[in-house]
Amino acid sequence: MTITASMVKALRERTGAGMMECKKALTDAGGDMESAVEELRKKGAAKADKKSGRIAAEGAISVEISDDRKTGVLVEVNCETDFVAKDENFKDFVTKVAGTVLSQQPKNVAALAGTTMTGSDKTVDEARVELFSKIGENISVRRFARVEARDDQNVSAYSHGSRIGVLVRSRGGRPDLGKDIAMHVAAMRPVCVSKENVPQDQLDKEKEIYGAQAAESGKPQDIVEKIVEGRLQKYINEVTLLGQPYVKDPDQSVQKLLASEGAEVQQFVRFEVGEGIERKEDDFVAEVMAQAKGA
């Protein structure tokens, strides 16, 4: 069978593979487009496997909220470079993964990988491998979070570009208050909502540190205790949402803002691209030497 230029073009558009690779795949498949696609995907998966050990610390966060504002999801998908993170194919994949989490409700990342992507006949992992092959970088769906509102609660969201995403579950206040609080969380990075949510062992550890520091001052014990209490309260204000100065009006705390609005915050989730991933420091000289030896 004659392999035409239009057939090669069609296969390239479907797979993103090179022209000569497409022509060879079509020739080997006797012109059968689906067989050629399958063969290229197999080769692409093999290439992807070789690259899967590379650290993927760039990427994007996608936020999706249901129309009734009762459910929100955050998804982080990683790649190796900021260049790919801005690629339209990559961004489209991230958005579709978030949509799948929202609609299909997988229990964890492993379950998500085998879930059929919303609006597609491929699973999330099949789509990931296909994109992996096309762009030539390691891609991984790292994590997702799902926030559910109950009764008179709502879920609000804020995205800082594609680098930071926040979900907030709250009750009461003006319609856009939840988004304002989500924006505050994005900027100020609180650890938890209130003092009651701070782990007791963490409070005990901080108290021990402040106690040792204050004891060196030589002041009387009652003064030392007051110093420790003051420093501990300052720490609590720094790490809790309610204790922090509101980012849009630092003269009042978030707690006072919520009280003035008759509102409450029950939960927030904040994702930032690459947080917690140990980035590899490349040794350029070693890399050049390794390439020279292999030449």
3-class SS of residue 120: coil
Kindly state whether residues 64 and 47 are assigned to the same domain.
Answer: no
Residue 214 forms part of a structural domain: yes
Kindly state whether residues 103 and 149 are assigned to the same domain.
Answer: yes
What 200-207 contacts at long range (C-beta under 8 Å, 24+ apart), as own/partner pairs, is 203/232, 203/236, 206/231, 206/232, 206/235, 207/232
pLDDT score at 132: 87
CATH number at residue 210: 1.10.286.20
Kindly state whether residues 47 and 64 are assigned to the same domain.
Answer: no
Find all residues with CB under 8 Å of 29, minimum gap 6, and list them: 35, 36, 39
Residues paired with 64 in a beta bridge: 73
pLDDT score at 22: 83
pLDDT score at 288: 46
Rg (CA), the chain: 26
Residue 90 forms part of a structural domain: yes
Kindly state whether residues 201 and 246 are assigned to the same domain.
Answer: yes
**8-22: pLDDT as tens digits:** 887 776 766 777 888
Kindly state whether residues 147 and 75 are assigned to the same domain.
Answer: yes
Rounded to whole angstroms, how far apart are CA atoms 67 and 118?
A: 17
Rounded to whole angstroms, how far apart are CA atoms 35 and 47?
A: 18
Structural domain containing residue 159: 58-178+265-272
Kindly state whether residues 135 and 238 are assigned to the same domain.
Answer: no
Q: What's the total number of domains in the chain? A: 3
Kindly state whether residues 111 and 159 are assigned to the same domain.
Answer: yes
254: tokens are 């978030």
Kindly state whether residues 30 and 113 are assigned to the same domain.
Answer: no
CATH number at residue 34: 1.10.8.10
CATH number at residue 170: 3.30.479.20
**128-155: pLDDT as tens digits:** 999 988 888 889 999 999 999 999 999 9
Q: Is the pLDDT of residue 217 over 90?
A: no
**20-29: pLDDT as tens digits:** 888 888 999 9
Find all residues with CB under 8 Å of 56, minimum gap 6, and list them: 78, 79, 80, 137, 138, 139, 140, 277
Kindly state whether residues 110 and 10 are assigned to the same domain.
Answer: no
